[in-house]
Chains A and B, each alone.
Chain A
Amino acid sequence: MAGGDDIRVSDIREGLSDFWKEFRRQKIGIIGLILLFILIFVATVGPYLTDFPEAGPRWRDINYWQDNPRSAPPAWTNWLTAKKDMPHENLRGYYENIESNVRTLQYNYTYAYDEPPNNLIVYISTYYHDAKYPPKLNFSIERPDGLRVYIYETYLNLPTNMSSYGDYSRDDRLVIGSSPQARKTAMDFAKKYESAYNLNRTQIEFVNPLLPLFSKAQPGLLISKEASPLAGKYTFIVTLLVGGASDEVNESRLLLSGSVYGVLGTDNFKRDLFAGIIGGTSVALIVGLLSAVIAVGVGIMYGITSAYLGGWKDETMQRFNEFIYSLPMLPILIAIAAIMKPSIWVIIVLIAAFGWTGVAKVARSLGLQIKEQTYIEAAHALGASGWRILFKHMIPIVAPYSFASMALFVPGAILIEAGISFLGLGDPTIATWGQILHDASYAAATLTGMWWWIIPPGLAIAVVSMTFVLIGSALDTILNPKMRRR
């Protein structure tokens, strides 16, 4: 047994290196392979390179996306338009220890846009020792013209149900831009420069308080059409007065909410579409590959077994095959999905359950050829059992064919899953490209011109299916003539 296996391993190695030599000559196959590696990289590492690594599982969790702008186009659209919209920005600050009880954080930001941010949100994790003296936070802006505006202050208070002594760490999310305090300080600032005429005719409650703060200190700064944006370097300063020397700031960031966003913008649920598309890559690959492996595996086994058994068993198995083959797959899948509300795993199994028939037919005809070979007869004569002949002598020969059919099965499977998801029948616990397109269609994104919501998911589907079409056709050209030669 061991000796026999040794020979096999070296055979396989030789076969593989031969195969690789041939595959290397297939230009489209190499392109496909490169694409596949990129896709695998994106599926595994990709989510951690986006701002929202949990985009897939938390796609429907509105809290996860709450700070993003709604329906924002991609940030790079600024390159194409005359009006420069403010991109959504996450600033990391640096930390300075001025005195034993004062901590400051500074965020530097270069502003060169035609509209102010929609909001300022500070995230801060603090640790303090004495509950009687919680940190007092003060937020101010230093403008390019040298003016400094103190906007907001608050105590990072203890929740009332906590005991008064001990070590405390807390996470705060301070929505500063839309707070009443910020409105008041911003308006006080504006009143110093605004003309009496403009002050009379503006309803201060409806002005974005961040407008005067990001505009030149001159009349008109309360009126969005007249205000002239003040470009230059802004410094946002967070000062913490703390109770003790050991109190610190663990982590902090400042979010400037803009109206253009990231690589691919956001949808009308504020979700980061780039993160969604990256997060959907693994799902698409799993759906395609797993259903292909199941369908082709079952198909090969079925076809070879049918060929090997022959006679009435073969006839019955072929009848059953044709039975499944002549059913319209998609309508039945849709009906089952609509009734059962299946998980992604059930969808994969269903796709495979309808997809194995074509492979089984080819495998059977190959099996019928192999069955006539003399070495099968020899194995019979040596007294090998039926299953041994099947698994040791017949299936390995058909295996190369199966790789080509697996690769060619993937695009269909991905398109079907995308279609089911598009109809709103996908697994609700994950994000898939089809579901993103369903939401886009449901929100009539085509009629509101939200191209960034429609084009990327479809392109992603196309790239993945094309990857496997390329690999599959390359494998097909290499393996098929070989099959005939045998």
Chain B
Amino acid sequence: MYAKYVVTRLINAVLLIMVTVLVLSTIFSSVSDRELKAQVEEQVLAAVRTNRGYAQLNETEKAQFRQGIRDNLYSQYDLDKPIYERIMKYTASILTFDFGKSLRMSSRSGSNEVKDIVLEALPRTILLFTTAETIVVAIGILLGIKAAQRSGSILDKGISVFAILSSSLPMWWVGMLMILIFSYSLNIFPSGGLVSLPPPTGIEYVIDLLWHLTMPLITVILVSFGAWAYTTRNLVIGTMQEDYITVARAKGVPERKVLYGHVLRSSAPPLVTMITTTILLSLGGAIITESVFNWPGMGRLYWVAIEEFDTPVLMGNTFVTVFLYVFAMAVLDLTYGLLDPRIKVGGRR
């Protein structure tokens, strides 16, 4: 039964990716159509300008000459083929992880394969955001439980207010404030980047990296943990009102045991879902926060690709993000299915 679930879920994920890639390819191809044609006209003009014999030709010959170059370039860029054929070709190459070459950017090793550029950025994003989210979840759950225990206290109210406040703030703007305060005014932390230039070696490299990591890390934690604590608190308070908790208390089970043994155990499944989805959704905030801190991950790659008009890199980055996201969701669903008997048995209702 579980095997069937695994298969359906995976097929679902693959299908989802294929459709997304197809849709994005369609948009991309139809827009790049216009750009490519304009580019071809420029190249035709350039060819005319550099050709010495061109001026001696008569009007029809000139037109023929231009048409010849144009046809050549059209077939080179596949512009002579119908658009759906190009869309299919592009979709197929993306699905086989062939993202092509970048227009301007290159990876640190000097490769201008889009795949290399994106894969170089990926571990840095994971380093920053996985660390951050782990800390956020830990602080959030701890504070949430404390708040639920003393519901109505100053701590509890403070957490609610902080949650509303922090969820209204753009994370990347908080990052800008952090740079303004800690880099510009106080000059304690570097304003951005992965490591100092020139990068130190050995253990100093690690320390330098952590030093650069601190400020983006604090930013993510500061903006995210409030909402976490708030939701945990609501979940725990909700569970505490269940009858079996009252029974446990009436039986004389110590309060600590009630909380950690009974309440937390039954709040765990929704918490786990939340953890996973939060981590995945944090990719969103990550994209822009990374650019603020010049953290050379996948988010920063978006910024650079947009500034440099490097569309292949932008598309490659998007596709890799979509792949990762969709498959991570699938894997999480599968793990969850393993834990939750209702799903394992097959029925959802």
Interface on A for B, CB 8 Å cutoff?
323, 326-332, 334-336, 338-340, 411, 415, 418-419, 422-425, 437, 440-441, 446-449, 451, 454-455, 457-458, 461-463, 465-466, 469-470, 473
A-contact bits for B154-185, CB 8 A (1 contact / 0 none):
00000000001101111011101101100111
B306 contact set on A, CB distance < 8 A: 334, 338, 423-425
Point out the residue from B20, B168, B176 that lies within 8 Å of A441, measured CB to CB: B176
Interface on B for A, CB 8 Å cutoff?
16, 19-20, 24, 27-28, 31-32, 164-165, 167-170, 172-174, 176-177, 179-180, 183-185, 191, 280, 283-284, 287-288, 291-292, 302-303, 305-307, 311, 314-315, 317-318, 321-322, 325-326, 329
Q: B180 contacts A449, CB within 8 Å?
A: yes
Q: How far is the CB of A122 from chain B (nearest CB, A)?
A: 38
Main SS at interface, chain B: helix
B283 contact set on A, CB distance < 8 A: 328, 330-331
Determine the residue in chain A with the shortest Cβ distance to B289: A419
Q: A332 contacts B288, CB within 8 Å?
A: no
Given pairs A328-B322, A447-B179, A461-B168, 9 additional interface contacts (CB within 8 A): A327-B20, A415-B170, A419-B287, A422-B172, A423-B306, A424-B306, A425-B306, A465-B167, A465-B168
Most buried by A among B19, B176, B307, B315: B176
- Alpha-carbon gap, A330 to B282, bound state (A): 10
Point out the residue from B165, B177, B287 that lies within 8 Å of A331, measured CB to CB: B287
- Alpha-carbon gap, A384 to B159, bound state (A): 50
Q: A327 contacts B326, CB within 8 Å?
A: yes
Most buried by A among B32, B165, B321, B326: B321
Determine the residue in chain B with the shortest Cβ distance to A450: B180
Main SS at interface, chain A: helix
Q: A447 contacts B27, CB within 8 Å?
A: no
A411 contact set on B, CB distance < 8 A: 167-168
Q: Given A327-B20, A331-B322, check contact A338 B314 (CB 8 Å).
A: yes
Q: B180 contacts A441, CB within 8 Å?
A: no
Q: How far is the CB of A351 from chain B (nearest CB, A)?
A: 12
Q: How far is the CB of A432 from chain B (nearest CB, A)?
A: 12
Most buried by A among B169, B183, B292: B169
Q: A462 contacts B20, CB within 8 Å?
A: no
Contacts A/B (CB < 8 Å), 16 sampled: A326-B326, A329-B284, A331-B287, A332-B322, A335-B315, A338-B311, A339-B28, A339-B311, A411-B167, A424-B306, A424-B307, A441-B291, A454-B176, A455-B180, A461-B168, A463-B168
Q: A323 contacts B176, CB within 8 Å?
A: no
Q: B315 contacts A328, CB within 8 Å?
A: no
- Alpha-carbon gap, A342 to B189, bound state (A): 38
Determine the residue in chain A with the shortest Cβ distance to B165: A466
Point out the residue from B165, B284, B291 that lies within 8 Å of A328, measured CB to CB: B284
Q: A461 contacts B24, CB within 8 Å?
A: no
Point out the residue from B184, B305, B322 that lies within 8 Å of A327, measured CB to CB: B322
- Alpha-carbon gap, A451 to B181, bound state (A): 9
B191 contact set on A, CB distance < 8 A: 446-447
Determine the residue in chain B with the shortest Cβ distance to A412: B167
Q: How far is the CB of A424 from chain B (nearest CB, A)?
A: 6
